[in-house]
Amino acid sequence: MTDNILPEIQKTVYLSTTIIKACSECDHGVFDDRHDIADQIHHYLEHGYVLLHVGAETAHNVTGGLWHSTVAVMGFRPSSDDKQPNNKMHRFRR
């Protein structure tokens, strides 16, 4: 990535294989398989988000062991013909 798109990012979402969340842009609801983070990333791409970061995150679980997650940060970057994320909502039907 050579262009700095960060100034164009209006908001971000944090996705994780550990945290169960619903889509923040539509009534999609909780994603069926939180371990399939690609499904969540694809969903936000359809809303006009771009992938800013994907990687691994490690935390401690309740017994002191290590808990590994895959995380992604997505940013909403409106294009010239799509200033609002909900404008693309008609594109998906599940």
Residue 94's identity, in one-letter code, is R
Pick between residue 60 and residue 94 the one whose CB is nearest to Zn ion: 94
Does the footprint of Zn ion cover residue 88 (CB under 5 A)?
no
Does the footprint of Zn ion cover residue 23 (CB under 5 A)?
yes
Q: Which residue has the tokens 């690609």?
A: 38
Which residues have a Cβ under 8 Å from the Cβ of 25 and sit 6 or more positions away?
Answer: 44, 47, 85, 86, 89
| Binds Zn ion (CB under 5 A): choice among 26, 41, 50, 54 | 26
Q: Which of residues 43-62 bind Zn ion (CB under 5 A)?
A: none
Minimum CB–partner distance for residue 54 and Zn ion (Å): 18
9 and 77 Cβ atoms separated by less than 8 Å: yes
Q: Where are the beta strands (DSSP E) in the chain?
A: 11-16, 49-60, 66-76
| Binds Zn ion (CB under 5 A): choice among 21, 28, 34, 77 | 28
Pick between residue 22 and residue 59 the one whose CB is nearest to Zn ion: 22
Which residues contact Zn ion by CB under 5 A?
23, 25-26, 28
